[in-house]
Amino acid sequence: MQPTEQPTKTESLKVAVVGTGYVGMGTAVMLASLGHQVVGIDIDQNKIEMLRRGELPIYEPGLEDLLRASQERLRWTGDYASAIPDADVIFICVGTPPLPSGQPNLRYVAEAAQSVARNLNGKLQVVVNKSTVPVGTGDWVSRILEDHALDYSAGRYVVVSNPEFLREGTALHDSLYPDRIVLGSSSPEGIERLRQLYQPLLEQTFTPPEGMPRPANYTLPELVTTSLSSAEMIKYAANAFLALKISFANEIAGLCECVDADIEQVTHGIGCDQRIGHRFLSAGAGWGGSCFGKDTAALINTGSEYGYTMPILRAAVEVNQRQRHLVISKLQRHLHRLQGKRVAVLGMAFKPNTDDLRDAPAHDCIARLMDLGAKVTVHDPVAMPHARREWAHLTYDEAPTAEAALRGADAVILMTEWDEYRALDWDQAVRTMRRRLIIDTRNVLQQLPQHSTVEQVGRTTLHNVPGNEVLAEALA
């Protein structure tokens, strides 16, 4: 079924979004752009002031423009009492960072749910768990509402699980053109309220934002309605499966290096099988970010609570950790001792088009280089200001440009596949290096600079010298 060409009138709902991180911010701005009246709530007053000025506390392509275009339907506050009573739908989008045990920390969910409960007003109000939470959290939030609402009545305050499936760097695109929308609840009224809220997405009746057109051949998203626990499990299972695909590609990449095969050719070949697909088969330094590590750990922990082992997921985590050590091993293969060596690291964010540093492989790389006595210079197009706060425990020099980072370096490690690094004039940049050694952990380079040695993942080490026909054949 194709998106409808003629817009249908959608009733505007009043929405409150608790939490203005990556998920909450994107949810609030997206819903306002669809015509709903949205109030964003956060206890961080600095964030609230930034948002009132039309500034984003995070980097996400396209989001700042949409924020400004939707300002008349957006309001920001730190006061629950001014936002919750009038809301038809209330999203909880707070963080659930992992505890040392691997369990998600639900403290912020509990605090948000209690604050919401104390300000409910007696009409039908739908409380939506958007945060990634363990199976059973929806029922737990229902009990919190029952215990803390001033005039609780069953059926008036209902909980719906509505997990997000956004990729940082393309979050706005994923929000507007989703594959599916999952709603989990035992309340038909709650499901219907959310269906009404998402009608412009389900029917694709909205006008696409400038610069983010509806994809060609895009079909309408599927509305998946389930129980609360099934919706919560869908989120974890989806992320775990994607993590498995990445770890599988990395494990095959290691074997490719042993047998002189090329991982790029191998993954292209297997990805042509429609049962497998090409996405999430890129070998590299391993997955990072806020989801895969946390969600796989949470699933493993949930299994252990029931005496149920999950060896496949544990193996995926082990492979991912091995990839991070592999980066330094490749460097040591050429430089041997790293004490006193100067190493440039290009890319700090865990993926391009975001400034998110959570579980970024670059962090572990820089920390290990420090331990081994190397002098580290870093560059990232977006994430360096964020890293000054989040990575204050690491010691490194910042470079204003990628070219500046390479000057005098004994090696460069390419950790994040920013387009800026793809477009870099590598022939010119490596001329200022002390030794032309490139560790390309994302297999970005397709044309290698002359007189250089390049280590990639799942590919043979390449030594580029004039007249090297073997190199040209390897890159073909």
Collapsed DSSP state (helix, strand, coil) of residue 442:
coil
State the pLDDT at residue 132.
Answer: 83
Residue 459 near residue 265, CB atoms below 8 Å: no
State the pLDDT at residue 368.
Answer: 96
State the pLDDT at residue 294.
Answer: 82
Boundary residue ending a domain (225, 252, 282): 225
State the pLDDT at residue 330.
Answer: 93
- Residue 178's nearest CA partner among 209, 207, 200 is 200
Q: Is 6's pLDDT higher than 70?
A: no
State the pLDDT at residue 467.
Answer: 41
Boundary residue ending a domain (208, 225, 242): 225
Q: Is 7's pLDDT higher than 50?
A: no
Q: What is the CATH number of the domain that holds 409?
A: 3.40.50.720
d(CA 23, CA 244): 23
Question: In which domain, by residue range, is 176 found?
Answer: 14-225
- Candidate from 72-86, 207-221, 280-294 with smallest mean pLDDT: 280-294
Active site residues: 291
State the pLDDT at residue 98.
Answer: 82
Per-residue H/E/C for 8-20: CCCCCCEEEEECC
Domain assignment of residue 40, yes or no: yes
CA distances from 83 to 11, 58, 195 (A): 19, 23, 22
d(CA 428, CA 354): 27
Chain position carrying tokens 């957006």: 74
Mean pLDDT of all residues belonging to the chain:
90
Q: Checking DSSP bridges between strand 452-456 and strand 462-464, what pairing results, if any?
A: antiparallel
User: What's the domain count of the chain?
Assistant: 2
pLDDT digits (tens, 9 = 90+) for 303-318: 988 999 999 999 999 9
Domain assignment of residue 45, yes or no: yes
State the pLDDT at residue 463.
Answer: 62
State the pLDDT at residue 100.
Answer: 83
Q: Which amino acid would we find at residue 404? A: A
State the pLDDT at residue 219.
Answer: 94
Whether residues 278 and 308 share a domain: the answer is yes
Cβ density class 383-410: b for 16+ within 10 Å, e for less: bbebbeebbeebebeebeebbbbbbebb
Confidence grade of residue 335 (pLDDT, cut at 50, 70, 90): very high
Whether residues 211 and 327 share a domain: the answer is no
Q: Which helix (H) or strand (E) holds 275?
A: none
Q: Is 221's pLDDT higher than 50?
A: yes
Highest mean pLDDT: which of 54-58, 98-102, 249-253, 297-301? 249-253
State the pLDDT at residue 404.
Answer: 97
Boundary residue ending a domain (203, 225, 247): 225
pTM for the structure as a whole: 0.85
Mean per-residue pLDDT for 383-389? 94
Domain assignment of residue 4, yes or no: no
State the pLDDT at residue 8.
Answer: 44
Whether residues 219 and 232 share a domain: the answer is no
Q: For the chain, what percent of residues have pLDDT higher than 90?
A: 73
